[in-house]
Amino acid sequence: MGIHVSVRNATLGATLKMDIAPNETVYDIIESAAEFWKKDPKAYVLRKGKSLLTATDTMMEANIMNGDVLELLPDPEGG
Amino acid sequence: MISAKEYDKDRFDRSKRIEWIDMDGIRNARCFVAGAGALGNEVMKCLVLSGFRDITVTDTDHVVLSNLNRCVFFKDGDVENGMKSDILAERASELDRDVRITARHDKVQDIGDWNEFDVILGCLDNISARLHVNAHAYYRDIPYIDGGTDGMMGKVQVVLPNGPCLRCAMNRTHYDVLVTRFSCTGKASAFYIPKNAAEITTTSTVAAMQVREAMKIASGCEGMCIRDMAYYNGISGETTILNIKKDNMCENHMGE
């Protein structure tokens, strides 16, 4: 039974619906979302509300639940 | 009763009216600015005008023409005609002759005297250098305030002793970027910095936030610092504070 989440693209404003297995990690979402939007080869992070999610956490460890809205953010590298 | 002119006897009169600011703490703090590019220029401006008096800045690059859309201290005549850190130190010193700014041309990987600094401001343009500064700062309990920009997006992450570090917020996409920056030609390794979108309004916003965090730390108000990252979206105008969890897989926290 997957977990249904929405992932919002902070740059485009578009939203993607995803079905995630409980044992998948935050990084799996980042990778899939970046691939879906054919994002530039940059660094990305994922947030849920006020928390920046730890990439190695599973859905359970990150407390991601059905209906959650996550946001994919580019991690600014320039100085 | 004081005369009207007495209001203007002290350069920092207006700063001192902010209750939590400790001007002695700011004056005595030894700051290290890693990078003298766009963020480095704006950070330096804000540091000097805020009353910091002991600043070291390092950068390995020369000024190039495309720097001039966002570097307040660089001019046309500087293009290919001087090291960024030298020019930045000289021009920023003109803002206040009491400030001591030391310019270096070292890579951050060649810095050996980290213990000489009380606070580090990261104005870098690549993940490799960030990770290096992050590790040294965390190991030595030196507060590290990292800034980054990408077009109209920006971030400030404050790394305090015993808190989550830069590495805790990274993932494999960061390492993929890091790998693509390096290229081996067979004869030598080259390091590529991509030509990302960059402009002054985002840069100055991020830099100002970085220096404000340095002011809190130098004033003994670490408890007021951003926990842990401020993410700035220049399109919507929103700044979101994001909490970061210590990553148990992060090499900086293993064994803690």
pLDDT tens-digit profile of B117-128? 999 999 999 999
Q: Is residue A79 part of a domain?
A: no
Tell me, what's the pLDDT at B250? 92
Residues in chain B within 8 Å Cβ distance of A42 = 150, 173, 177
Report the 10 Å Cβ neighbour count for B3.
Answer: 7
Q: Confirm whether A26 is domain-assigned.
A: yes
Q: Please give the interface size between A and B, counted as residue pairs whose CB atoms are below 8 Å apart.
A: 99
Q: Are residues B247 and A54, on separate chains, in Cβ contact within 8 Å?
A: yes
- pLDDT, tens digit (0-9, with 9 covering 90-100), for A28-78: 999 999 999 987 788 999 999 999 999 999 999 999 999 999 999 999 999
Chain A residue with the nearest C-alpha to that of B243: A51
Residue A77 lies in a domain: no
Share of chain B above pLDDT 90, in %: 85
In a domain, A78, yes or no: no
**Residue range(s) defining the domain that contains residue A55:** 3-68
Contacts B243 to A, Cβ<8 Å: 50-52
Asked if residue A33 belongs to a domain, the reply is: yes
Q: Which A residues, 18 through 37, put their C-beta within 8 Å of a C-beta on chain B?
A: 26-27, 30-31, 34
Residue B151 pLDDT grade (very low, low, confident, very high; cuts 50, 70, 90): very high
Predicted complex ipTM exceeds 0.85: yes
Q: Please report where in the chains the tokens 């995630």 appear, as a residue.
A: A20
User: Looking at residue A39, what is its pLDDT?
Assistant: 75
Q: Which of B200, B204, B231 best tests the A interface by mutation, with the highest count of A CBs <10 A? A: B231
The shortest C-alpha distance from B197 to chain A (Å) reads 8
Q: Mark yes or no for CB contact A75/B174 under 8 Å.
A: yes
What is the pLDDT at residue A41?
Answer: 80
Nearest to B125 among A30, A55, A77 (CB): A77
B7-11, B64-68, B142-146, B223-227: which has the minimum mean pLDDT?
A: B7-11
CATH number of the domain enclosing A31: 3.10.20.90
Q: Do A27 and B241 touch (CB under 8 A)?
A: no
**3-state SS class at B224:** helix
Domain count, chain A: 1
For B192, counting Cβ atoms within 10 Å of its Cβ (0-12 exposed, 13-18 middle, 19+ buried), the class is exposed
Among the residue ranges A2-11, B46-55, B71-80, B185-194, the one predicted with the least confidence is B185-194
Q: Do B247 and A56 touch (CB under 8 A)?
A: yes
Q: Which two tokens stand for residue B72?
A: 């307040």
Burial class (CB in 10 A: 0-12, 13-18, 19+), A76: buried
Please report the residues numbered 46 through 75 in chain A whose beta carbons come closer than 8 angstroms to any beta carbon of chain B: 47, 50-52, 54-56, 73-75
Using a CB-CB distance cutoff of 8 angstroms, which residues of chain B are in contact with residue A54? 168, 244-245, 247
Q: Per-residue pLDDT averaged across B185-199, rounded? A: 70
Mean pLDDT, chain B, rounded, equals 93
Mean pLDDT of B4-30: 91
Closest Cβ–Cβ partner in B38, B173, B198 for A34:
B173
Would the CB atoms of A78 and B149 count as touching at under 8 Å? yes
Q: Which domains does chain B have, with CATH numbers?
A: 18-242 (3.40.50.720)
A58 within some domain: yes
pLDDT tens for residues B51-93? 999 999 999 999 999 999 999 999 999 999 999 999 999 999 9
CA-to-CA dists, residue A59 to A15, A28, B148, B172, B247, angstroms: 19, 10, 28, 17, 15
- Could you check whether the bond before residue A28 is cis, i.e. omega within 30 degrees of 0? no
Which tens digits make up the pLDDT trace of B193-232? 677 899 999 999 999 999 999 999 999 999 999 999 999 9
The answer to whether residue A19 sits within a structural domain is: yes
For residue A76, is it within any domain? no
Q: Which chain A residues are closer than 8 Å to B150 by Cβ?
A: 42, 74-78
pLDDT at A38: 84
List the alpha helices (DSSP H) in chain B: 13-16, 23-28, 38-50, 84-93, 127-139, 172-181, 200-218
